[in-house]
Structure 1
Amino acid sequence: FNILGLPTELVSHSISFLSMKDRLRVAGVNKKLRKIESESKYYVKFMFLDISTSPDVIRRIAHNASIGRMCVNLRDLNESNRKIFNLVKEFDIGTLYFGPNAHDIILMEMMVDSFFADLTRTCKTMFLRECYNITPEALHQVSEGMSNCSVKLRSMSINKVHKEKITSFLNLVGIAFRDGKFYSNRVVEVYEWRHEEGDVIEHAIFDGSLEILLDHITFASGLGPFRLKLYETQNSLEEAKNREGYARIEVYPE
Protein backbone atom coordinates (compact mmCIF):
# COMPACT_ATOMS: atom_id res chain seq x y z
CA PHE A 1 0.00 0.00 0.00
CA ASN A 2 1.51 3.30 -1.12
CA ILE A 3 0.31 6.07 1.20
CA LEU A 4 2.14 8.67 -0.87
CA GLY A 5 -0.20 7.92 -3.76
CA LEU A 6 -3.18 9.19 -1.78
CA PRO A 7 -4.43 12.80 -2.00
CA THR A 8 -2.71 15.18 0.42
CA GLU A 9 -5.92 15.59 2.46
CA LEU A 10 -6.13 11.84 3.13
CA VAL A 11 -2.44 11.61 4.03
CA SER A 12 -2.84 14.52 6.45
CA HIS A 13 -5.92 12.85 7.96
CA SER A 14 -4.03 9.57 8.38
CA ILE A 15 -1.10 11.31 10.09
CA SER A 16 -3.48 12.98 12.54
CA PHE A 17 -4.11 9.60 14.22
CA LEU A 18 -0.42 9.05 14.98
CA SER A 19 1.30 9.86 18.25
CA MET A 20 3.51 12.93 18.35
CA LYS A 21 6.62 10.73 18.26
CA ASP A 22 5.38 8.79 15.22
CA ARG A 23 4.38 12.00 13.44
CA LEU A 24 7.91 13.30 13.74
CA ARG A 25 9.28 9.96 12.54
CA VAL A 26 7.00 9.99 9.49
CA ALA A 27 8.05 13.56 8.71
CA GLY A 28 11.62 12.37 8.33
CA VAL A 29 10.79 9.85 5.58
CA ASN A 30 10.75 12.25 2.65
CA LYS A 31 10.10 15.83 1.59
CA LYS A 32 6.40 15.36 0.79
CA LEU A 33 5.54 13.84 4.17
CA ARG A 34 7.64 16.47 5.93
CA LYS A 35 5.67 19.23 4.19
CA ILE A 36 2.30 17.62 4.97
CA GLU A 37 3.23 17.11 8.62
CA SER A 38 4.51 20.68 8.98
CA GLU A 39 1.22 22.10 7.68
CA SER A 40 -1.16 19.94 9.72
CA LYS A 41 -2.36 20.95 13.18
CA TYR A 42 -3.06 18.54 16.02
CA TYR A 43 -3.99 18.42 19.70
CA VAL A 44 -1.83 16.85 22.41
CA LYS A 45 -3.61 16.19 25.70
CA PHE A 46 -0.44 16.16 27.83
CA MET A 47 3.19 17.00 27.08
CA PHE A 48 5.97 16.27 29.58
CA LEU A 49 9.33 17.89 28.90
CA ASP A 50 11.82 16.08 31.11
CA ILE A 51 14.79 15.22 28.90
CA SER A 52 16.95 17.27 26.60
CA THR A 53 15.41 17.34 23.13
CA SER A 54 16.53 19.11 20.00
CA PRO A 55 15.23 22.70 20.09
CA ASP A 56 14.40 22.31 16.38
CA VAL A 57 12.06 19.42 17.19
CA ILE A 58 10.42 21.41 19.99
CA ARG A 59 10.00 24.37 17.65
CA ARG A 60 8.24 22.14 15.08
CA ILE A 61 5.89 20.80 17.73
CA ALA A 62 5.16 24.34 18.94
CA HIS A 63 4.29 25.36 15.40
CA ASN A 64 1.82 22.50 14.85
CA ALA A 65 0.45 21.39 18.19
CA SER A 66 -2.11 22.70 20.64
CA ILE A 67 -1.24 21.36 24.11
CA GLY A 68 -3.84 20.60 26.77
CA ARG A 69 -1.38 20.43 29.68
CA MET A 70 2.36 20.96 29.61
CA CYS A 71 4.79 20.12 32.41
CA VAL A 72 8.30 21.52 32.01
CA ASN A 73 10.67 19.44 34.13
CA LEU A 74 14.08 19.94 32.51
CA ARG A 75 16.74 19.12 35.07
CA ASP A 76 20.05 19.63 33.27
CA LEU A 77 21.69 23.04 33.15
CA ASN A 78 22.81 23.40 29.54
CA GLU A 79 22.36 25.71 26.58
CA SER A 80 19.97 23.35 24.78
CA ASN A 81 17.57 23.34 27.74
CA ARG A 82 17.76 27.11 27.97
CA LYS A 83 16.62 27.28 24.34
CA ILE A 84 13.79 24.83 25.04
CA PHE A 85 12.63 26.89 28.04
CA ASN A 86 12.56 29.92 25.78
CA LEU A 87 10.49 28.04 23.17
CA VAL A 88 7.69 27.33 25.67
CA LYS A 89 6.31 30.81 24.97
CA GLU A 90 5.71 29.80 21.32
CA PHE A 91 3.21 27.04 22.21
CA ASP A 92 -0.57 27.16 22.44
CA ILE A 93 -1.17 25.73 25.94
CA GLY A 94 -4.18 25.18 28.16
CA THR A 95 -2.40 24.61 31.49
CA LEU A 96 1.31 25.21 32.05
CA TYR A 97 3.31 24.21 35.09
CA PHE A 98 6.91 23.53 36.01
CA GLY A 99 7.75 20.18 37.61
CA PRO A 100 9.60 19.67 40.89
CA ASN A 101 12.86 18.82 39.12
CA ALA A 102 12.88 21.81 36.77
CA HIS A 103 16.26 23.47 37.23
CA ASP A 104 15.89 26.51 39.51
CA ILE A 105 18.89 28.29 37.99
CA ILE A 106 17.30 28.20 34.53
CA LEU A 107 13.96 29.29 35.97
CA MET A 108 15.63 32.16 37.83
CA GLU A 109 17.35 33.23 34.60
CA MET A 110 14.29 32.89 32.37
CA MET A 111 11.46 33.99 34.62
CA VAL A 112 11.89 37.73 34.20
CA ASP A 113 9.14 40.22 33.38
CA SER A 114 9.37 39.95 29.58
CA PHE A 115 9.33 36.12 29.51
CA PHE A 116 6.53 36.02 32.09
CA ALA A 117 4.49 38.41 29.95
CA ASP A 118 5.05 36.15 26.92
CA LEU A 119 3.78 33.14 28.89
CA THR A 120 0.55 34.96 29.79
CA ARG A 121 -0.18 35.16 26.06
CA THR A 122 0.61 31.45 25.65
CA CYS A 123 -1.50 29.64 28.27
CA LYS A 124 -4.87 29.97 30.02
CA THR A 125 -3.71 28.57 33.37
CA MET A 126 -0.24 28.79 34.89
CA PHE A 127 1.32 27.35 38.04
CA LEU A 128 4.69 28.57 39.35
CA ARG A 129 6.62 27.34 42.37
CA GLU A 130 8.12 30.76 43.05
CA CYS A 131 7.91 34.33 41.81
CA TYR A 132 11.59 34.22 40.77
CA ASN A 133 12.58 37.56 39.16
CA ILE A 134 9.04 38.67 38.32
CA THR A 135 8.48 42.19 39.63
CA PRO A 136 5.32 43.64 41.24
CA GLU A 137 4.99 45.86 38.17
CA ALA A 138 4.82 42.80 35.90
CA LEU A 139 2.22 41.16 38.15
CA HIS A 140 0.19 44.36 37.98
CA GLN A 141 0.43 44.53 34.18
CA VAL A 142 -0.70 40.92 33.93
CA SER A 143 -3.64 41.53 36.27
CA GLU A 144 -4.70 44.42 34.03
CA GLY A 145 -4.23 42.25 30.95
CA MET A 146 -6.43 39.56 32.48
CA SER A 147 -9.10 42.12 33.38
CA ASN A 148 -9.30 43.57 29.88
CA CYS A 149 -8.71 40.16 28.22
CA SER A 150 -5.66 41.38 26.31
CA VAL A 151 -3.77 38.25 27.44
CA LYS A 152 -4.76 34.60 27.17
CA LEU A 153 -4.18 33.90 30.87
CA ARG A 154 -7.30 33.37 32.99
CA SER A 155 -5.87 31.80 36.15
CA MET A 156 -2.47 31.93 37.83
CA SER A 157 -1.09 30.46 41.04
CA ILE A 158 2.35 31.10 42.56
CA ASN A 159 3.24 28.98 45.59
CA LYS A 160 5.84 31.29 47.12
CA VAL A 161 5.81 35.08 46.90
CA HIS A 162 7.47 37.45 49.37
CA LYS A 163 5.14 39.72 51.32
CA GLU A 164 6.95 42.82 50.06
CA LYS A 165 6.15 41.92 46.44
CA ILE A 166 2.48 41.34 47.21
CA THR A 167 2.27 44.59 49.20
CA SER A 168 3.83 46.50 46.28
CA PHE A 169 1.47 44.78 43.84
CA LEU A 170 -1.56 45.76 45.94
CA ASN A 171 -0.32 49.36 46.10
CA LEU A 172 -0.10 49.44 42.30
CA VAL A 173 -3.67 48.14 42.11
CA GLY A 174 -4.69 50.90 44.53
CA ILE A 175 -5.17 48.77 47.65
CA ALA A 176 -3.36 48.91 51.00
CA PHE A 177 -3.36 46.34 53.80
CA ARG A 178 -2.45 47.57 57.28
CA ASP A 179 -3.11 46.14 60.72
CA GLY A 180 -5.49 43.53 59.35
CA LYS A 181 -7.60 46.05 57.40
CA PHE A 182 -7.92 46.87 53.72
CA TYR A 183 -7.89 50.44 52.41
CA SER A 184 -8.73 51.69 48.94
CA ASN A 185 -10.34 54.60 47.13
CA ARG A 186 -11.33 52.28 44.31
CA VAL A 187 -14.47 50.15 44.05
CA VAL A 188 -13.26 46.76 45.25
CA GLU A 189 -14.88 44.06 47.37
CA VAL A 190 -13.00 42.02 49.97
CA TYR A 191 -14.15 38.72 51.47
CA GLU A 192 -12.47 36.71 54.19
CA TRP A 193 -12.57 33.04 55.03
CA ARG A 194 -12.12 32.13 58.67
CA HIS A 195 -11.19 28.85 60.31
CA GLU A 196 -13.72 27.27 62.67
CA GLU A 197 -11.65 28.63 65.55
CA GLY A 198 -11.99 32.15 64.21
CA ASP A 199 -8.58 32.63 62.60
CA VAL A 200 -8.51 34.30 59.19
CA ILE A 201 -7.28 31.83 56.57
CA GLU A 202 -7.69 33.68 53.29
CA HIS A 203 -8.73 36.99 51.77
CA ALA A 204 -10.41 37.26 48.37
CA ILE A 205 -10.28 40.67 46.73
CA PHE A 206 -12.61 41.27 43.80
CA ASP A 207 -11.52 44.00 41.42
CA GLY A 208 -14.30 43.85 38.87
CA SER A 209 -14.25 40.29 37.49
CA LEU A 210 -10.71 39.63 38.71
CA GLU A 211 -10.16 37.80 41.99
CA ILE A 212 -6.93 38.28 43.96
CA LEU A 213 -6.49 35.51 46.53
CA LEU A 214 -4.18 36.12 49.48
CA ASP A 215 -3.27 33.60 52.16
CA HIS A 216 -2.80 34.72 55.77
CA ILE A 217 0.50 32.78 55.83
CA THR A 218 2.00 35.37 53.46
CA PHE A 219 1.51 38.24 55.89
CA ALA A 220 2.24 36.16 58.99
CA SER A 221 5.51 34.59 57.82
CA GLY A 222 6.56 36.91 54.99
CA LEU A 223 6.25 34.23 52.29
CA GLY A 224 3.18 32.52 50.89
CA PRO A 225 0.91 31.78 47.92
CA PHE A 226 -0.59 34.32 45.54
CA ARG A 227 -3.35 33.68 43.04
CA LEU A 228 -5.23 35.54 40.32
CA LYS A 229 -8.40 34.32 38.63
CA LEU A 230 -10.66 35.94 36.06
CA TYR A 231 -14.37 35.10 36.06
CA GLU A 232 -15.73 35.35 32.54
CA THR A 233 -19.44 35.25 33.37
CA GLN A 234 -21.54 37.12 35.92
CA ASN A 235 -22.88 33.83 37.29
CA SER A 236 -19.41 32.42 37.98
CA LEU A 237 -18.40 35.71 39.61
CA GLU A 238 -21.42 35.70 41.92
CA GLU A 239 -20.82 32.05 42.82
CA ALA A 240 -17.24 32.90 43.78
CA LYS A 241 -18.39 35.74 46.01
CA ASN A 242 -20.95 33.50 47.71
CA ARG A 243 -18.68 30.55 48.44
CA GLU A 244 -19.38 28.77 51.67
CA GLY A 245 -17.38 30.19 54.56
CA TYR A 246 -16.60 33.54 52.93
CA ALA A 247 -17.95 36.78 54.40
CA ARG A 248 -17.65 40.29 52.98
CA ILE A 249 -15.67 42.76 55.08
CA GLU A 250 -15.36 46.52 55.00
CA VAL A 251 -12.85 48.33 52.81
CA TYR A 252 -11.84 51.65 54.35
CA PRO A 253 -11.08 54.81 52.34
CA GLU A 254 -7.41 55.72 52.10
Structure 2
Amino acid sequence: MQRATVDLRFAPELRFFLPPRHRGGTVRADHDGTASLGHLVQSLGVPLTEVGGLYADGDRLPPAHRPRLGQRVDVATAPRPQPLPPGFHPPRFLLDVHLGTLARRLRLLGIDTAYDNDRDDPSLLAQANAEHRVLLTRDRGLLLRRALRAGAHVRSHRPDEQLDDVLERFAPPLAPWTRCVHCNGPLAPAAKEEVAEQLPAGTRATYDTFARCQVCRSVFWPGAHHDELTRIVDRARAAAPRPRS
Protein backbone atom coordinates (compact mmCIF):
# COMPACT_ATOMS: atom_id res chain seq x y z
CA MET A 1 0.00 0.00 0.00
CA GLN A 2 1.38 3.40 -0.98
CA ARG A 3 2.34 5.68 1.90
CA ALA A 4 0.65 9.06 2.16
CA THR A 5 3.41 11.66 1.85
CA VAL A 6 4.01 15.37 1.39
CA ASP A 7 7.19 16.74 -0.19
CA LEU A 8 8.71 19.62 1.76
CA ARG A 9 11.47 21.61 0.06
CA PHE A 10 13.42 23.68 2.61
CA ALA A 11 15.36 26.83 1.85
CA PRO A 12 19.15 26.39 2.29
CA GLU A 13 19.18 28.60 5.40
CA LEU A 14 16.77 26.20 7.15
CA ARG A 15 18.55 22.93 6.40
CA PHE A 16 20.77 23.41 9.45
CA PHE A 17 17.77 22.40 11.59
CA LEU A 18 17.01 19.18 9.70
CA PRO A 19 18.38 15.75 10.65
CA PRO A 20 21.61 15.08 8.71
CA ARG A 21 19.92 12.58 6.37
CA HIS A 22 17.51 15.30 5.18
CA ARG A 23 19.93 18.17 4.64
CA GLY A 24 19.74 17.82 0.89
CA GLY A 25 16.75 20.09 1.29
CA THR A 26 13.75 18.04 0.10
CA VAL A 27 12.01 15.79 2.62
CA ARG A 28 9.27 13.29 1.78
CA ALA A 29 7.29 13.39 5.03
CA ASP A 30 4.71 10.81 6.02
CA HIS A 31 1.27 12.37 6.33
CA ASP A 32 -1.85 10.91 7.90
CA GLY A 33 -4.15 13.53 6.40
CA THR A 34 -4.89 15.24 9.72
CA ALA A 35 -1.60 16.94 10.64
CA SER A 36 -1.21 20.60 9.77
CA LEU A 37 1.58 21.86 7.56
CA GLY A 38 3.09 23.70 10.51
CA HIS A 39 3.14 20.48 12.52
CA LEU A 40 4.93 18.62 9.72
CA VAL A 41 7.59 21.33 9.45
CA GLN A 42 8.21 21.45 13.19
CA SER A 43 8.24 17.66 13.49
CA LEU A 44 11.36 17.74 11.32
CA GLY A 45 13.07 20.12 13.76
CA VAL A 46 12.49 23.43 11.97
CA PRO A 47 10.89 26.04 14.27
CA LEU A 48 8.19 28.14 12.65
CA THR A 49 9.94 31.20 14.10
CA GLU A 50 12.60 30.63 11.40
CA VAL A 51 10.12 30.18 8.53
CA GLY A 52 9.17 33.12 6.36
CA GLY A 53 6.40 31.43 4.40
CA LEU A 54 4.92 28.15 3.16
CA TYR A 55 4.11 27.96 -0.56
CA ALA A 56 2.49 25.48 -2.93
CA ASP A 57 1.56 26.05 -6.58
CA GLY A 58 2.31 29.75 -6.19
CA ASP A 59 -0.03 30.19 -3.24
CA ARG A 60 0.99 31.08 0.29
CA LEU A 61 -0.38 28.63 2.84
CA PRO A 62 -1.01 29.17 6.57
CA PRO A 63 0.68 26.84 9.06
CA ALA A 64 -2.76 25.42 9.90
CA HIS A 65 -3.24 24.23 6.30
CA ARG A 66 -3.69 20.46 5.89
CA PRO A 67 -1.71 19.48 2.81
CA ARG A 68 -3.15 17.03 0.34
CA LEU A 69 -1.50 13.74 -0.57
CA GLY A 70 1.57 14.25 -2.73
CA GLN A 71 1.51 18.02 -2.44
CA ARG A 72 4.88 19.77 -2.79
CA VAL A 73 5.49 22.66 -0.41
CA ASP A 74 8.34 25.18 -0.43
CA VAL A 75 9.44 26.27 3.04
CA ALA A 76 11.04 29.71 2.83
CA THR A 77 13.36 31.33 5.33
CA ALA A 78 12.34 34.47 7.20
CA PRO A 79 13.06 37.73 5.34
CA ARG A 80 15.44 40.33 6.70
CA PRO A 81 14.51 42.63 8.32
CA GLN A 82 11.92 40.22 9.66
CA PRO A 83 8.30 41.33 10.16
CA LEU A 84 7.02 40.85 13.70
CA PRO A 85 3.51 40.44 15.14
CA PRO A 86 1.52 43.54 16.13
CA GLY A 87 2.74 44.97 19.42
CA PHE A 88 6.35 43.87 18.90
CA HIS A 89 7.60 47.16 17.35
CA PRO A 90 10.17 48.44 17.95
CA PRO A 91 11.77 45.07 18.69
CA ARG A 92 12.49 44.27 22.33
CA PHE A 93 14.28 41.11 23.35
CA LEU A 94 14.45 38.43 26.03
CA LEU A 95 17.55 36.25 26.03
CA ASP A 96 18.05 32.80 27.50
CA VAL A 97 20.71 31.97 30.08
CA HIS A 98 23.38 31.13 27.47
CA LEU A 99 23.44 34.59 25.86
CA GLY A 100 24.73 36.88 28.62
CA THR A 101 27.43 38.52 26.51
CA LEU A 102 24.95 39.23 23.71
CA ALA A 103 22.54 40.72 26.27
CA ARG A 104 25.19 43.15 27.50
CA ARG A 105 26.08 44.18 23.97
CA LEU A 106 22.46 44.81 23.01
CA ARG A 107 22.02 46.94 26.13
CA LEU A 108 25.22 48.82 25.29
CA LEU A 109 23.54 49.76 22.00
CA GLY A 110 20.46 51.02 23.84
CA ILE A 111 18.22 48.09 22.85
CA ASP A 112 15.63 47.02 25.43
CA THR A 113 16.94 43.59 26.47
CA ALA A 114 15.71 41.44 29.34
CA TYR A 115 18.09 38.79 30.67
CA ASP A 116 18.53 36.72 33.80
CA ASN A 117 21.12 33.98 34.25
CA ASP A 118 18.74 31.76 36.24
CA ARG A 119 15.52 31.19 34.30
CA ASP A 120 13.65 28.07 33.24
CA ASP A 121 11.89 27.56 29.92
CA PRO A 122 8.28 28.10 31.11
CA SER A 123 9.13 31.44 32.74
CA LEU A 124 11.00 32.60 29.64
CA LEU A 125 8.04 31.73 27.43
CA ALA A 126 5.58 33.47 29.75
CA GLN A 127 7.68 36.64 29.99
CA ALA A 128 8.32 36.84 26.25
CA ASN A 129 4.61 36.65 25.47
CA ALA A 130 3.45 38.89 28.32
CA GLU A 131 5.97 41.66 27.56
CA HIS A 132 5.85 41.31 23.76
CA ARG A 133 9.54 40.45 23.54
CA VAL A 134 11.33 38.43 20.87
CA LEU A 135 12.86 35.41 22.59
CA LEU A 136 16.46 34.86 21.45
CA THR A 137 17.87 31.43 22.21
CA ARG A 138 20.27 28.73 21.08
CA ASP A 139 17.75 26.10 22.24
CA ARG A 140 15.68 25.13 19.21
CA GLY A 141 13.39 23.06 21.45
CA LEU A 142 12.26 26.26 23.16
CA LEU A 143 11.42 27.78 19.78
CA LEU A 144 9.31 24.73 18.89
CA ARG A 145 6.83 25.50 21.67
CA ARG A 146 3.52 26.32 20.03
CA ALA A 147 2.61 29.08 22.50
CA LEU A 148 5.62 31.26 21.65
CA ARG A 149 4.56 34.38 19.74
CA ALA A 150 7.97 35.60 18.52
CA GLY A 151 11.43 34.12 18.75
CA ALA A 152 14.66 33.53 16.89
CA HIS A 153 17.47 31.02 16.91
CA VAL A 154 20.97 32.36 17.56
CA ARG A 155 23.32 30.05 15.70
CA SER A 156 26.82 31.35 16.31
CA HIS A 157 28.87 30.90 19.47
CA ARG A 158 30.77 34.14 18.76
CA PRO A 159 29.37 37.35 20.32
CA ASP A 160 30.35 39.54 17.34
CA GLU A 161 28.53 37.22 14.94
CA GLN A 162 25.55 36.90 17.27
CA LEU A 163 25.17 40.66 17.45
CA ASP A 164 25.53 41.10 13.68
CA ASP A 165 22.85 38.47 13.12
CA VAL A 166 20.32 40.06 15.49
CA LEU A 167 20.87 43.55 14.09
CA GLU A 168 20.50 42.36 10.50
CA ARG A 169 17.47 40.22 11.22
CA PHE A 170 15.41 42.67 13.28
CA ALA A 171 16.90 46.13 12.52
CA PRO A 172 16.22 47.54 16.00
CA PRO A 173 16.84 51.28 16.41
CA LEU A 174 20.16 51.97 18.14
CA ALA A 175 20.73 54.41 21.01
CA PRO A 176 24.22 53.59 22.33
CA TRP A 177 25.27 54.43 25.90
CA THR A 178 21.66 54.94 27.11
CA ARG A 179 21.03 51.64 28.97
CA CYS A 180 22.62 49.95 31.92
CA VAL A 181 24.48 46.82 30.81
CA HIS A 182 23.80 45.26 34.22
CA CYS A 183 20.02 45.65 34.55
CA ASN A 184 18.71 47.26 31.32
CA GLY A 185 17.61 50.43 33.13
CA PRO A 186 17.97 53.90 31.59
CA LEU A 187 21.18 55.88 32.12
CA ALA A 188 21.35 59.57 32.99
CA PRO A 189 24.36 61.92 33.19
CA ALA A 190 25.67 62.34 36.73
CA ALA A 191 27.95 64.98 38.22
CA LYS A 192 31.10 63.69 39.90
CA GLU A 193 30.01 65.00 43.29
CA GLU A 194 26.74 63.06 43.01
CA VAL A 195 28.51 59.70 42.59
CA ALA A 196 31.79 60.36 44.40
CA GLU A 197 31.03 57.90 47.21
CA GLN A 198 30.63 55.05 44.69
CA LEU A 199 33.95 55.70 42.94
CA PRO A 200 37.37 54.16 43.62
CA ALA A 201 39.94 56.76 44.59
CA GLY A 202 41.84 56.39 41.33
CA THR A 203 38.67 56.91 39.30
CA ARG A 204 37.78 60.08 41.22
CA ALA A 205 41.21 61.48 40.41
CA THR A 206 41.22 60.46 36.73
CA TYR A 207 37.71 60.82 35.28
CA ASP A 208 35.15 63.60 35.14
CA THR A 209 32.36 62.15 32.96
CA PHE A 210 29.86 59.80 34.56
CA ALA A 211 26.43 58.24 34.03
CA ARG A 212 24.25 56.47 36.57
CA CYS A 213 21.55 53.85 36.11
CA GLN A 214 18.16 55.11 37.23
CA VAL A 215 17.15 51.63 38.40
CA CYS A 216 20.10 49.81 40.00
CA ARG A 217 22.18 53.01 40.59
CA SER A 218 25.32 51.55 39.00
CA VAL A 219 27.81 54.22 37.91
CA PHE A 220 29.63 54.18 34.57
CA TRP A 221 32.60 56.11 33.20
CA PRO A 222 34.93 55.79 30.15
CA GLY A 223 37.34 53.40 31.84
CA ALA A 224 39.82 50.77 30.74
CA HIS A 225 37.33 48.92 28.52
CA HIS A 226 36.02 52.03 26.77
CA ASP A 227 37.98 51.46 23.55
CA GLU A 228 36.57 47.93 23.17
CA LEU A 229 33.04 49.13 23.88
CA THR A 230 33.45 51.94 21.37
CA ARG A 231 34.61 49.38 18.80
CA ILE A 232 31.41 47.38 19.35
CA VAL A 233 29.25 50.51 19.03
CA ASP A 234 31.01 51.79 15.90
CA ARG A 235 30.86 48.35 14.26
CA ALA A 236 27.15 48.04 14.98
CA ARG A 237 26.38 51.50 13.66
CA ALA A 238 28.27 50.78 10.46
CA ALA A 239 26.71 47.36 9.85
CA ALA A 240 23.14 47.76 11.07
CA PRO A 241 20.46 48.22 8.37
CA ARG A 242 18.14 51.16 8.56
CA PRO A 243 15.18 50.55 10.92
CA ARG A 244 11.73 49.86 9.47
CA SER A 245 9.47 52.86 9.21
TM-score, normalised to structure 2, is 0.32
Q: Larger relative contact order (C-alpha < 8 A, sep ≥ 6)?
A: 2
Structure with more of its chain in helix, by fraction: 1
